[in-house]
Amino acid sequence: MNPVLKSIKPVIEKSKFIKINKENLLKFCSDFKLKKFKFWLDLAPFNFPKLNEKEWLNFIFVSSSLDFCFWGEPKWKIKYKGNFYDGSWGLVASLTRAIEGNFPILDFKYLAKIPENDLREIFKGNVEIPLFNERLKILRENGRILIEKFNGDFEKVIKKGREDALKLLEVITNDFPSFYDWAIYKGNKVFFHKRAQLLIADIHRRGLAKFKNIDKLTALADYKIPQILRKLGILEYAPDLAEKIDNKVLIPAGSEEEIEIRANTIWAIELMKDELKSRIQNITPMQIDSYLWLKSQEKSPDDKPYHLTKTIFY
């Protein structure tokens, strides 16, 4: 079993800030008519540079290493080819712009010692990207680990995973500390591994490698998925928590409120999967997650804010 799914069960049983509305969840599933699941990278609103398979692997690893915490006042955004992008699209646009500007960001020897000024230029936007120093540290650390443990070859990380998504998850979270996404809830260690699971799923969906047990990956516990689940009436927040989120009060990383938001997000999508599999036999939590993430990009005036947590994990 995925350690994430096993570890969140005590959180689900003891949650006091979050409730899953089963009636609304079943209604969502009954209306679910998606014929083809779309992959978020294939829907990018700009063209990527031409990359070979090895370069694509490195690109996905680098982007997954940095895919966290884009919010702020004002929100960080970059200008690329006449358009503005923020969030994950802003990150991917920044990396694309860097490659086109001849920054060797797919070379792990470079990343292990990437100059601070280079990274500032790569992420240059209207304001400094949130948690800039943490991003600099992660890139250098991951570059150094790949050089020292894997001879600078990310394909060797994948081979160590033995074509098994759960084994690769173990490799990534053990060998790369910044991917080890966990918290303590009422004395129990809880795992989420958001970015590590996204990395594996993106490699698989891009066709760069195929993994058994890919269906065992869970949904990705970030801030956009619980936002859309709340909009759908599937996640219900206690009044005090709802008031904090709606007033953009910081929810501390590792707090019971934050852990419950993340755990119930994952569990709700597991319940969706169980309900939908009678009609869509091979449906996976990751496919439902991708559908919901893309749906969350459709903005409406009555959208409530997502919860705000300063963290490197999402």
DSSP letter, residue 76: P
CB 115, CB 150: distance < 8 Å: no
Burial environment of residue 52 by CB neighbours within 10 A (0 to 12, 13 to 18, 19 or more): exposed
Please say if 42 is a catalytic residue.
Answer: no
Sign of the torsion angle spanned by Cα atoms 184, 187, 188, 189: positive
Among candidate residues 67, 86, 202, 222, the one labeled active-site is 222
Count CB atoms within 10 A of the CB of residue 87.
15
C-alpha distance across the termini of the chain, in Å: 23
What's at 305, amino acid-wise? P
Q: Within a 13 Å sphere around the CA of 236, how many CA atoms are in the beta-carbon half?
A: 9
How many whole angstroms separate alpha carbon 100 and alpha carbon 120?
Answer: 16
What's at 161, amino acid-wise? G
CB 56, CB 203: distance < 8 Å: no
**Encoded tokens for 149:** 């443990």
**Contacting residues for 16 by C-beta, under 8 A, at least 6 apart:** 238, 256, 260
How many whole angstroms separate alpha carbon 225 and alpha carbon 122?
Answer: 28
Q: How far is CA 290 from CA 32, 89, 136, 221, in A?
A: 14, 14, 28, 12
Count CB atoms within 10 A of the CB of residue 280.
17
Active site residues: 222
